[in-house]
Structure 1
Amino acid sequence: MPIDARELMEAISIIANQRNVRVTAKQAGKGAMVCAASAFAGGLLLGPLGLVVGSTAGGLMAYKMTSGTFRPLADVLLNDLTDRQQEQLVRHVNNAVAQFEISDLALLLPLIMNNASIQQAVLKTAISFVSNELNLQIID
Protein backbone atom coordinates (compact mmCIF):
# COMPACT_ATOMS: atom_id res chain seq x y z
CA MET A 1 0.00 0.00 0.00
CA PRO A 2 1.52 3.36 -0.98
CA ILE A 3 1.89 6.08 1.60
CA ASP A 4 -1.29 8.14 1.88
CA ALA A 5 -0.41 11.81 2.33
CA ARG A 6 -3.42 12.58 4.54
CA GLU A 7 -2.67 9.77 6.98
CA LEU A 8 0.97 10.76 7.15
CA MET A 9 -0.05 14.38 7.80
CA GLU A 10 -2.27 13.17 10.65
CA ALA A 11 0.60 11.15 12.12
CA ILE A 12 2.87 14.21 11.98
CA SER A 13 0.11 16.23 13.64
CA ILE A 14 -0.21 13.69 16.45
CA ILE A 15 3.52 13.95 17.13
CA ALA A 16 3.36 17.76 17.07
CA ASN A 17 0.45 17.69 19.54
CA GLN A 18 2.29 15.31 21.85
CA ARG A 19 5.30 17.64 21.88
CA ASN A 20 3.01 20.72 22.23
CA VAL A 21 4.65 22.54 19.31
CA ARG A 22 3.01 25.87 18.50
CA VAL A 23 3.59 28.43 15.79
CA THR A 24 3.17 32.17 15.53
CA ALA A 25 3.35 34.61 12.67
CA LYS A 26 6.17 36.52 14.38
CA GLN A 27 3.75 38.39 16.63
CA ALA A 28 5.76 37.90 19.82
CA GLY A 29 8.37 40.46 18.72
CA LYS A 30 5.70 43.02 17.93
CA GLY A 31 4.13 42.50 21.34
CA ALA A 32 7.46 42.97 23.07
CA MET A 33 8.10 46.20 21.16
CA VAL A 34 4.66 47.58 22.10
CA CYS A 35 5.23 46.71 25.74
CA ALA A 36 8.70 48.30 25.77
CA ALA A 37 7.54 51.44 23.97
CA SER A 38 4.66 51.88 26.40
CA ALA A 39 6.94 51.46 29.40
CA PHE A 40 9.39 53.96 27.93
CA ALA A 41 6.67 56.54 27.23
CA GLY A 42 5.19 56.06 30.68
CA GLY A 43 8.60 56.48 32.28
CA LEU A 44 9.23 59.70 30.39
CA LEU A 45 5.85 61.16 31.35
CA LEU A 46 5.42 59.99 34.94
CA GLY A 47 8.82 58.76 36.09
CA PRO A 48 9.00 55.49 38.07
CA LEU A 49 5.23 55.28 38.46
CA GLY A 50 4.93 55.77 34.69
CA LEU A 51 7.12 52.72 34.12
CA VAL A 52 4.63 50.61 36.04
CA VAL A 53 1.59 52.14 34.34
CA GLY A 54 3.20 52.12 30.89
CA SER A 55 4.42 48.54 31.10
CA THR A 56 1.05 47.33 32.37
CA ALA A 57 -0.80 49.16 29.62
CA GLY A 58 1.73 47.94 27.05
CA GLY A 59 1.36 44.37 28.27
CA LEU A 60 -2.39 44.57 27.90
CA MET A 61 -2.08 46.06 24.40
CA ALA A 62 0.43 43.37 23.43
CA TYR A 63 -1.93 40.69 24.71
CA LYS A 64 -4.79 42.15 22.69
CA MET A 65 -2.61 42.36 19.56
CA THR A 66 -1.25 38.82 19.75
CA SER A 67 -4.30 37.04 21.12
CA GLY A 68 -5.13 34.06 18.95
CA THR A 69 -1.93 34.19 16.89
CA PHE A 70 -0.28 31.24 18.66
CA ARG A 71 -1.64 28.04 17.15
CA PRO A 72 -0.76 24.37 17.44
CA LEU A 73 1.50 23.14 14.64
CA ALA A 74 -0.93 20.27 14.04
CA ASP A 75 -3.71 22.75 13.27
CA VAL A 76 -1.51 24.54 10.74
CA LEU A 77 -0.46 21.28 9.10
CA LEU A 78 -3.96 19.92 8.74
CA ASN A 79 -5.85 23.10 7.89
CA ASP A 80 -3.54 25.73 6.38
CA LEU A 81 -1.32 23.85 3.95
CA THR A 82 -2.37 23.68 0.32
CA ASP A 83 -2.39 20.32 -1.43
CA ARG A 84 0.92 21.19 -3.08
CA GLN A 85 2.48 22.11 0.26
CA GLN A 86 1.21 18.89 1.83
CA GLU A 87 2.75 16.90 -1.01
CA GLN A 88 6.04 18.74 -0.51
CA LEU A 89 6.01 18.02 3.21
CA VAL A 90 5.23 14.36 2.60
CA ARG A 91 8.18 14.20 0.19
CA HIS A 92 10.44 15.84 2.79
CA VAL A 93 9.29 13.40 5.48
CA ASN A 94 9.77 10.45 3.13
CA ASN A 95 13.31 11.67 2.48
CA ALA A 96 13.90 12.04 6.22
CA VAL A 97 12.91 8.43 6.88
CA ALA A 98 14.40 7.03 3.65
CA GLN A 99 17.30 5.48 5.53
CA PHE A 100 14.79 3.05 7.03
CA GLU A 101 13.73 1.97 3.51
CA ILE A 102 10.02 2.01 4.24
CA SER A 103 7.63 2.34 1.32
CA ASP A 104 4.48 0.98 2.92
CA LEU A 105 2.20 3.11 5.10
CA ALA A 106 1.31 0.06 7.18
CA LEU A 107 4.96 -0.13 8.24
CA LEU A 108 5.70 3.59 8.40
CA LEU A 109 2.94 4.78 10.74
CA PRO A 110 3.63 2.34 13.60
CA LEU A 111 7.34 3.00 13.24
CA ILE A 112 6.79 6.76 13.45
CA MET A 113 4.49 6.44 16.46
CA ASN A 114 6.79 4.09 18.42
CA ASN A 115 10.32 5.21 17.59
CA ALA A 116 11.53 8.40 19.30
CA SER A 117 14.39 9.03 16.87
CA ILE A 118 12.09 8.76 13.85
CA GLN A 119 9.56 11.01 15.60
CA GLN A 120 12.31 13.58 16.14
CA ALA A 121 13.38 13.38 12.48
CA VAL A 122 9.79 13.72 11.25
CA LEU A 123 9.02 16.59 13.62
CA LYS A 124 12.26 18.38 12.75
CA THR A 125 11.40 18.06 9.06
CA ALA A 126 7.88 19.41 9.61
CA ILE A 127 9.16 22.32 11.70
CA SER A 128 11.79 23.19 9.11
CA PHE A 129 9.19 23.04 6.34
CA VAL A 130 6.71 25.28 8.17
CA SER A 131 9.46 27.75 9.09
CA ASN A 132 10.84 27.98 5.57
CA GLU A 133 7.71 27.66 3.43
CA LEU A 134 5.14 29.50 5.56
CA ASN A 135 7.50 31.88 7.38
CA LEU A 136 6.05 30.93 10.74
CA GLN A 137 8.02 30.98 13.96
CA ILE A 138 8.05 27.80 16.06
CA ILE A 139 7.49 27.91 19.82
CA ASP A 140 8.48 24.80 21.80
Structure 2
Amino acid sequence: MPVDCRELVEAISIIANERNVQVTMKQATKGSLVCAASAFAGGILLGPVGLAVGSAAGGLMAYKMTSGKFRPLADVLINDLTDRQKEQLVRRVNNAVAEFAISDLAILLPMLMNNASIQEAVLKTAISFVSNELRVQVIQ
Protein backbone atom coordinates (compact mmCIF):
# COMPACT_ATOMS: atom_id res chain seq x y z
CA MET A 1 0.00 0.00 0.00
CA PRO A 2 1.77 3.17 -1.13
CA VAL A 3 1.92 6.14 1.17
CA ASP A 4 0.36 9.42 0.12
CA CYS A 5 2.99 11.98 -0.85
CA ARG A 6 1.38 14.47 1.55
CA GLU A 7 1.78 12.08 4.49
CA LEU A 8 5.48 11.65 3.89
CA VAL A 9 6.04 15.39 3.52
CA GLU A 10 4.18 15.94 6.80
CA ALA A 11 6.36 13.31 8.50
CA ILE A 12 9.50 15.04 7.23
CA SER A 13 8.08 18.33 8.50
CA ILE A 14 7.60 16.86 11.97
CA ILE A 15 11.24 15.77 12.07
CA ALA A 16 12.39 19.18 10.81
CA ASN A 17 10.36 20.88 13.56
CA GLU A 18 11.78 18.58 16.23
CA ARG A 19 15.30 19.47 15.13
CA ASN A 20 14.42 23.17 14.71
CA VAL A 21 15.72 23.44 11.14
CA GLN A 22 15.30 26.97 9.79
CA VAL A 23 15.39 28.36 6.27
CA THR A 24 16.47 31.84 5.28
CA MET A 25 16.17 33.61 1.98
CA LYS A 26 19.71 35.03 1.82
CA GLN A 27 19.32 36.87 5.14
CA ALA A 28 22.27 35.14 6.80
CA THR A 29 24.57 36.41 4.06
CA LYS A 30 23.35 39.99 4.43
CA GLY A 31 23.77 39.84 8.19
CA SER A 32 27.31 38.52 8.01
CA LEU A 33 28.27 41.19 5.45
CA VAL A 34 26.91 43.97 7.68
CA CYS A 35 28.76 42.54 10.66
CA ALA A 36 32.04 42.23 8.75
CA ALA A 37 31.76 45.72 7.25
CA SER A 38 31.13 47.25 10.67
CA ALA A 39 34.09 45.45 12.20
CA PHE A 40 36.31 46.56 9.33
CA ALA A 41 35.20 50.20 9.59
CA GLY A 42 35.65 50.17 13.36
CA GLY A 43 39.12 48.66 13.01
CA ILE A 44 40.17 51.29 10.47
CA LEU A 45 38.87 54.18 12.57
CA LEU A 46 39.75 53.08 16.12
CA GLY A 47 42.22 50.20 15.78
CA PRO A 48 41.81 47.12 18.01
CA VAL A 49 39.13 48.75 20.18
CA GLY A 50 37.26 49.69 17.01
CA LEU A 51 37.21 46.05 15.94
CA ALA A 52 35.36 45.14 19.10
CA VAL A 53 33.00 48.12 18.92
CA GLY A 54 32.39 47.66 15.19
CA SER A 55 31.73 43.95 15.60
CA ALA A 56 29.23 44.55 18.39
CA ALA A 57 27.47 47.32 16.47
CA GLY A 58 27.44 45.23 13.29
CA GLY A 59 26.04 42.25 15.17
CA LEU A 60 23.20 44.36 16.55
CA MET A 61 22.45 45.83 13.11
CA ALA A 62 22.50 42.36 11.54
CA TYR A 63 20.13 41.10 14.22
CA LYS A 64 17.74 43.98 13.59
CA MET A 65 17.86 43.45 9.80
CA THR A 66 17.25 39.71 9.88
CA SER A 67 14.89 39.43 12.84
CA GLY A 68 11.80 37.46 11.89
CA LYS A 69 13.04 36.55 8.41
CA PHE A 70 13.90 32.93 9.18
CA ARG A 71 11.21 30.31 8.61
CA PRO A 72 10.91 26.71 9.77
CA LEU A 73 11.81 24.13 7.13
CA ALA A 74 8.52 22.38 7.86
CA ASP A 75 6.60 25.49 6.81
CA VAL A 76 8.54 25.67 3.54
CA LEU A 77 7.98 21.97 2.81
CA ILE A 78 4.24 22.14 3.36
CA ASN A 79 3.43 25.58 1.95
CA ASP A 80 6.07 26.50 -0.64
CA LEU A 81 6.69 23.30 -2.58
CA THR A 82 4.52 22.59 -5.60
CA ASP A 83 2.92 19.17 -5.98
CA ARG A 84 5.56 18.26 -8.55
CA GLN A 85 8.36 19.27 -6.18
CA LYS A 86 6.77 17.26 -3.36
CA GLU A 87 6.69 14.20 -5.63
CA GLN A 88 10.35 14.75 -6.51
CA LEU A 89 11.19 15.03 -2.82
CA VAL A 90 9.38 11.76 -2.09
CA ARG A 91 11.32 10.02 -4.88
CA ARG A 92 14.62 11.34 -3.50
CA VAL A 93 13.71 10.27 0.02
CA ASN A 94 12.79 6.83 -1.29
CA ASN A 95 16.22 6.61 -2.96
CA ALA A 96 17.97 7.85 0.19
CA VAL A 97 16.40 5.17 2.39
CA ALA A 98 16.97 2.36 -0.11
CA GLU A 99 20.11 1.38 1.80
CA PHE A 100 17.91 0.59 4.82
CA ALA A 101 16.16 -2.17 2.80
CA ILE A 102 12.72 -0.61 3.04
CA SER A 103 10.79 -2.18 0.20
CA ASP A 104 7.46 -0.43 0.61
CA LEU A 105 6.92 3.24 1.24
CA ALA A 106 4.14 2.30 3.71
CA ILE A 107 6.78 0.76 5.98
CA LEU A 108 8.82 3.95 5.84
CA LEU A 109 6.50 6.15 7.92
CA PRO A 110 6.61 4.11 11.16
CA MET A 111 10.34 3.52 10.75
CA LEU A 112 10.91 7.19 10.02
CA MET A 113 9.37 8.23 13.30
CA ASN A 114 11.37 5.71 15.38
CA ASN A 115 14.78 5.32 13.72
CA ALA A 116 17.37 8.09 14.14
CA SER A 117 19.49 6.88 11.21
CA ILE A 118 16.56 6.99 8.83
CA GLN A 119 15.51 10.38 10.20
CA GLU A 120 18.99 11.76 9.54
CA ALA A 121 19.07 10.38 5.99
CA VAL A 122 15.62 11.74 5.19
CA LEU A 123 16.34 15.14 6.75
CA LYS A 124 19.62 15.49 4.83
CA THR A 125 17.78 14.63 1.63
CA ALA A 126 15.05 17.19 2.34
CA ILE A 127 17.60 19.89 3.19
CA SER A 128 19.57 19.19 0.03
CA PHE A 129 16.41 19.21 -2.06
CA VAL A 130 15.12 22.52 -0.65
CA SER A 131 18.56 24.14 -0.94
CA ASN A 132 18.87 23.16 -4.60
CA GLU A 133 15.27 23.63 -5.74
CA LEU A 134 14.34 26.83 -3.89
CA ARG A 135 17.86 28.30 -3.64
CA VAL A 136 17.59 28.97 0.09
CA GLN A 137 20.02 28.62 2.93
CA VAL A 138 19.23 26.07 5.62
CA ILE A 139 20.34 26.58 9.21
CA GLN A 140 20.43 23.62 11.56
> Structure 2-normalised TM-score?
0.84
Listed as ranges, the matches of 1:32-47 within 5 Å are: 32-47=32-47
Tell me if 1:78 matches 2:55: no
**TM superposition score normalised by structure 1:** 0.84
Identical-pair percentage? 78
Deviation at 1:134, TM superposition (A): 1.4
2:24 and 2:138 in contact (8 A); partners too: yes
CA distance in 2, matches of 1:84, 1:46: 55
CA 1:122/1:52 → structure 2, altered by over 3 Å: closer, same or farther?
closer
- Corresponding residue for residue 111 of structure 1: 111
Q: Does residue 94 in structure 1 map to residue 94 in structure 2? A: yes
**Deviation at residue 54 of structure 1 after TM alignment:** 3.0
Q: Which sits farther off after the overlay, 54-63 or 87-96?
A: 54-63
Distance 1:132 1:87 in 2: 15
Compute the displacement of 1:7 (Å): 0.8
Aligned length: 138
Q: How has the CA–CA distance of structure 1 residues 29 and 103 changed in structure 2, closer, same or farther, with 3 Å as cutoff?
A: closer
Give the alignment's Cα RMSD to 1 decimal: 2.0
Offset, 1:11 = 0.3
